[in-house]
Structures are given as structure tokens and as C-alpha cells.
Chains A and B, each alone.
Chain A
């Protein structure tokens, strides 16, 4: 992995410390994420993948160290966050479009700008369902797509995805994954993806961070130099298989190492 200069980093983590009930999950953890990159975080259960992005998103306090966005703390930047459970993340009392407008209203944008962003997102994701429907009348994939649109609407400096496809069926996952990589790459959105699906992590990421059991360290930092866009054929390409083999090897050792 080439070194990331401070100017290229959208997110820098330095000397992060976090413990739960006296058990250290992070004890001096550091990370830089390059602007425009999609970083996938992969590791054994309980290694604190979600804990890391929750601390970065300001949803969980840190015990020590710092997490900076180009020198600023999380309260000073726009971030997007897509939760695993879309059913509990969307506001069911608001229509899908109103859910997407919500963060834009909080930003105090003008109505015309809000509508422009909504339309551009709907076009980018080729939305064919009715955005005026209430979330509960949409399918699971459509609901998670609305969550993703809501997170992207603010044009976030960093987008966090917490196992966004784990509650969806494989067919829906494949199509949503394809759409998502196109949009993220077109918008050059810096993204951190937490996933427990290795294939998904490799397909979506520019870089995979393999974590160890706690106290969590970086077991390996792997660049994914596969061409964009990545399609169904990518999954059987030799490069893909080589990366997957390397990741599996690291993962097995990381899990066994505990």
C-alpha cells in the first residue's frame, strides 16, 4: 500500500483507544483513508468493525486518540451513514422522498436545491418505484436504496456503510451493489464499508483492511486493483480469485491467532 499523504486523506485515525467493560477493543489504532477511495473493513466477529465506524461517525465516544476529517472533528463535517437495519433506520411516518429530504432540510438548503439533489439521486440510481410511497410499502431492497439515497443526499465527505446488504436476498444484493459502485465512483465519494461478506468487500473496495481479533490491529492492508466497473464476470477473474485467496489466508490466521 502506498503511503497516503496528509493532504490526500479524507479521514485520519491516530492512536485510537476504546474499551468495553475493561476489555480493550482498540489500543493505539491508526488508519488513513484516501479521498475518493472505498475502503472495506473485514475481520472476525467482535473485532470492533462497527465500533470503529460508529466512533468515526460520532455515534460512540472514543476513550482516547483522535479521529479527524482533514483536520476537523466529525461535528464539523457532513457524513452519511447507512444502517444495517433499514426498517429501523428510515422514518416510517414520512414518505420515502421526505426521508431523503430530511437531512437536506436540516442543512437549511433551499427547496430548489433539495429537489435538484433528489432528482439527481433518483436518476443516478435509476429509481423506478414511487418515491412518494411510505417506506413500509416498499420492498427491502427499495427501502435500503432509500436509506443509501438519504445518506448520499448531503454529499457526504465520508459515507459509512454498516453491513448494508446483509438483510437482503442475493439477487437484490447483486443489483444494488452494481448500482452503488457506479454512483460512488461517479461521485468520488469516500466510503468505508463494514461487511461480513468477503466477496462483497472485494467487489466494492479499492482497498481492504483485514483486522485481527481484539485488541484490534491491522492484520493486512490489501489494495484491490481490479478495473471498474466490476461486474458478474469480475467474480471469476483470476485477479479477483487471487485477492480472495490472500484475504482468506489472512483471515484464517487472524482468527486462529487468537
Chain B
């Protein structure tokens, strides 16, 4: 109970400060609406406006790009991790593109995939796949040697060793990669929704609200996007805790 009360207290304090700033007129009311106004505008957009649809679009794009990223990143990471010499050869390229801001790749992806859904998903998947690949490869490379030898001695074929030992050994690290990957995918999707020919999505909604001076709604969409990111992160933390029950024991 206490574990819930303390963070709730922090959030309440944040809202109280915000309200105080509004009451003291520290900023122009057009730029800083009250929490209540923000809530009302957001609720209205949810029930009568497009916000629910926007949220749904952002979630689908993020999940879709995350799934594509997993489908590429996990097997490729396992393969590269199992053959360390190959990984060392491509490590620089992976690290380089992992460090490149995905937003800098928008123009390139626009040329490759055109103005449409494909580009948003491709660029987000690309960013997330590198993070997942990197983590999966390191998970495999840090696999306990004894366990690999034990499996071999027990008659496991090389392919068996990959699926029965390496995959499991890498699993904690793969889930860490997935958690970072899904967060990154959300970031890229929201930015892409702002700038790559979109008509919906949270990114689109926030930039439209800003340009129409609907600041209550703008703040609301920011909070919705924040809540989405937080929930995605929390989901993977809980998955890790539940599924990787052996970690650190």
C-alpha cells in the first residue's frame, strides 16, 4: 500500500505545483491552462474527438514496428552472438547506426518507402531492431560456457544448443533489449507522426493542438503519450520479473 501511496503523493504534489503556478499567473493562461481544463479538454477529445483513435493508431504502429524489430533483431542477434568473430566484424556498423538519431534517417526512409504507413513503421522498426539485436548478441556471448558444454556432453546438436541453452541464457538480456526497443519505437513513431505525412496518431494530435493553440489538449496528449510509454515499460518489467524467474539466482 505504502509502495503505491508515496508515488501517488509525488504525482499529487506535481499537480498541486502546476495549479499553484496557474493561480499565481506565472504564465499566460493560453500557454499554461489549469490541470482541470487540461483534463476536461482531453476527456472531451477522447469521448467526442479523435484522441481515442489517435491513441489506437500510435499503439498499433508501435506494436507493429516492435514486432518487426523482434522478428529481425532476435534471430540475427542470436546468430551473431553465437559466432563472435562475425559479431566483432559488424559490431562497429551496429554501434554506429544504434547511435545515429533515427530522426536523421527519415529522409532516407521516405525515399525508400515513400510517404505512408510503411515509412513510419520501417524507421521505428529499424531503430528498435538494432537495440534488440545488440542485446540478444551480448546475451548469447555472455552465456555460461559450462552450460553450453553440459548440453554438448548430453548429446545436444549445435542447433539444439542454440534453442535449449543460448536462447535461454540470452533471454534476460533479450527482454532488456525489448524493453529499450519498444520505448525507442514509441519515440520514433510519435516523431514520425508529427513530420511524415500523417493525419492521425498522438504525434499528429499534439502538433495540431499546438498550432491551433488548444493548449489544454496539447498538454493532455503529452500526458497520454507519457502514460503509454510508462505502461509499455512497466509491462516489460513485469514480464521480466515473472518470466525470467531464475535471473540473478
Contacts and interface: CB of A to CB of B under 8 A. Distances in A.
B168 A59 contact: no
12 contacts: A59-B149, A78-B155, A79-B153, A83-B149, A85-B146, A88-B146, A88-B147, A89-B146, A91-B165, A103-B154, A106-B156, A136-B249
Contacts of A91: 147, 150, 164-165, 168
B160 A89 contact: no
Nearest to A57: B153
A214 B152 CA distance: 28
Contacts of A83: 146, 149-150
Interface of B: 144, 146-147, 149-150, 152-156, 160, 164-165, 168, 171, 245-246, 249
B211 to A, nearest CB: 52
A93 B246 CA distance: 6
Contacts of B149: 59, 81, 83
Contacts of A57: 153
Nearest to B243: A93
Contacts of A240: none
Contacts of A79: 153
Contacts, number: 50
Nearest to A153: B154
B181 to A, nearest CB: 22
B168 A88 contact: no
A154 B249 CA distance: 28
B156 A89 contact: no
Given A79-B153, A81-B153, A106-B154, A88 B144 contact: yes
A192 to B, nearest CB: 14
A89 B169 CA distance: 12
Nearest to B171: A93
B187 to A, nearest CB: 32
A125 interface: no
Nearest to A81: B153
Contacts of A78: 155
Interface string A76-113: 00111101010011111100000000110011000000
Which 6 residue pairs of A and B lie closest in terms of their CB atoms, listed nearest first? A92-B246, A103-B154, A136-B249, A88-B146, A106-B155, A81-B153
Contacts of B152: 58-59
A29 interface: no
Contact of A154 (B154, B156, B171): B154
B246 A136 contact: yes
A57 B155 CA distance: 11
A90 B158 CA distance: 18
Contacts of B171: 93
A89 B147 contact: yes
Contacts of A58: 152-153
Nearest to B248: A136
Contact of A81 (B144, B150, B160, B168): B150
Given A83-B146, A91-B147, 14 more contacts: A58-B153, A59-B152, A59-B153, A81-B149, A83-B149, A83-B150, A85-B146, A90-B150, A91-B165, A93-B171, A102-B154, A106-B155, A106-B156, A134-B245
Contacts of B249: 92, 136
A89 B156 CA distance: 14
A80 B150 CA distance: 9
A106 B160 contact: yes
Nearest to B145: A88
